[in-house]
Amino acid sequence: GENVEQHPSTLSVQEGDSAVIKCTYSDSASNYFPWYKQELGKRPQLIIDIRSNVGEKKDQRIAVTLNKTAKHFSLHITETQPEDSAVYFCAGRGAQKLVFGQGTRLTINP
Amino acid sequence: GAVVSQHPSRVICKSGTSVKIECRSLDFQATTMFWYRQFPKKSLMLMATSNEGSKATYEQGVEKDKFLINHASLTLSTLTVTSAHPEDSSFYICSAPRTSVPDTQYFGPGTRLTVL
């Protein structure tokens, strides 16, 4: 089945700088890769997703890139703000179900 | 947007009792719902896939008799933790995809279960 690895587990950046979180997946048949943001004690919120027929997708300060050959995808957050502090999860869809990465705790330092 | 609710948000129970958690899709129908478990500072672990009108599909290592799932209608799935023990204490979250956009999963707010 699908296996998703996520790095780093923690990330601390200065406000205004960029943050990058990377994930790799194992199932070459996976075709959908969402990113979720989860604040403490709350539900995961979808922030951006990408399908395997696209290499890059951008939504304001957030972008995701996908390299199908290497089987990895990345989340890029530019001009980080304090409200970006949260845990971020990548996921890959294999066999009709999502498999999540281990999560990255992002801290934005003022 | 699509809304998924869960009830209760928090529950505390004694060992040996059973607890039922409801997951509802409020503004769309969901033939499939997913149940996850999340330990503190950990990722979401899929427990089972709930299928309307048929049996749930459980992930490897998840006890079917302990975590009973019933998908009673196109908008409701329930997870019953039977004979709960302290090690069952966790954050349980459901999700549901819209039929029209099957890739995107919408999560419920989660249920914090504490077993004393």
Which residue(s) pair with A23 in the sheet? A6, A73
- Smallest CA–CA distance, residue A78 to chain B, in Å, is 24
pLDDT score of A95 more than 90: no
Give residue B1's pLDDT.
Answer: 61
- Smallest CA–CA distance, residue A14 to chain B, in Å, is 23
What does the pLDDT average to over A8-19? 98
Answer whether A101 sits within 8 Å of B49, measured CB to CB: no
| CA nearest neighbour of B35 among B114, B112, B110 | B110
**Residue B43 contacts A, CB cutoff 8 Å:** yes
pLDDT in tens, A80-94: 999 999 999 999 987
Percent of chain A with pLDDT over 90: 85
Q: Which residues of B touch A89 (CB under 8 A)?
A: 43-44
- Determine contact, residues B71/B53, Cβ cutoff 8 Å: yes
Q: Which residues of A touch B107 (CB under 8 A)?
A: 36, 43-45
Give residue B102's pLDDT.
Answer: 67
- Determine contact, residues B17/B71, Cβ cutoff 8 Å: no
pLDDT in tens, B79-116: 999 999 999 999 999 999 876 676 788 999 999 999 99
Tell me the pLDDT band of B8, cut-offs 50, 70 and 90: very high
List the 37-96 stretch of A: residues with Cβ below 8 A of B. Answer: 41-46, 49, 51, 89, 93, 96
Pairing mode, strands A72-77 and A19-25 = antiparallel
Give residue B2's pLDDT.
Answer: 66
Give residue A53's pLDDT.
Answer: 87
| CA nearest neighbour of B112 among B37, B45, B43 | B37
The string of DSSP letters for B7-18 reads E-SEEEE-TT--
Residue of B nearest to A31 (CA): B103
Neighbours of B63 (CB within 10 A): 10
pLDDT in tens, A33-51: 999 999 988 999 999 999 9
Torsion angle, alpha carbons of B37, A32, A70, A19, to 10: -70
Which residue(s) pair with A34 in the sheet? A49
Cis amide prior to B97 (ω within 30 degrees) = no
What does the pLDDT average to over A46-66? 94
Residue of B nearest to A44 (CA): B107
Answer whether B44 sits within 8 Å of A44, measured CB to CB: yes
